[in-house]
Amino acid sequence: MNNSSIQGSCLCGTVKFEVNPPFQKMVHCHCSRCRKGTGTGHATNLTVEPSQFRWLKGEEVVTRYDLPTAKSFGKWFCSHCGCPVPRLTRNGKIVVIPAGSLDTAPPITPTDHIFWASRAAWGCASGGLATHTEYPESW
């Protein structure tokens, strides 16, 4: 990776990684799975191609959970502290990075709210970002 790489880590510091921008997108997902998986009103994730990502340490303690009833939902987390960490999609084409796992702010801000129709009643306002019932057709 190069000097523009952004590093991230888990809560206990056992897992560390770096990602090389540019990011494909940064979105807030309000689906019930993301809410359950994060314990919050929505998940904020960034995406990159696998070639832009690498583990620096702790990959061996990352636990993967693929929801059996879902086509593609999964969650990777540090087995020491439970913190969400980046995950490779099941098709292997995208790395999904939990925004809160980055150690510094990325050079991108959220552009969309997805699964807006299933958001929690107490969730945040749209803040003027585009809202989509599910995934936008262009994705």
Residue 45 lies in a domain: yes
Q: 137 is written with which tokens?
A: 């057709």
Residue 137 lies in a domain: no
The number of domains in the chain is: 1
Residue 1 lies in a domain: no
- Which residue type, as a one-letter code, is found at position 19? V
Q: What's residue 133's pLDDT?
A: 93
Residue 28's CATH number = 2.170.150.70
Residue 73 lies in a domain: yes
Q: 56 is written with which tokens?
A: 């620096």
Distance, in Å, from the CA atom of 125 to the CA atom of 116, rounded to the nearest integer, reads 10
pLDDT by residue for the chain (139 residues), tens only, comes to 666 999 999 999 999 999 999 999 999 999 999 999 999 999 999 999 999 999 999 999 999 998 888 777 889 999 999 999 999 998 899 999 999 999 999 999 999 999 999 999 999 999 999 999 988 877 7
**Shortest CA distance to 108 belongs to which of 42, 21, 35, 9?**
21
pTM comes to 0.91
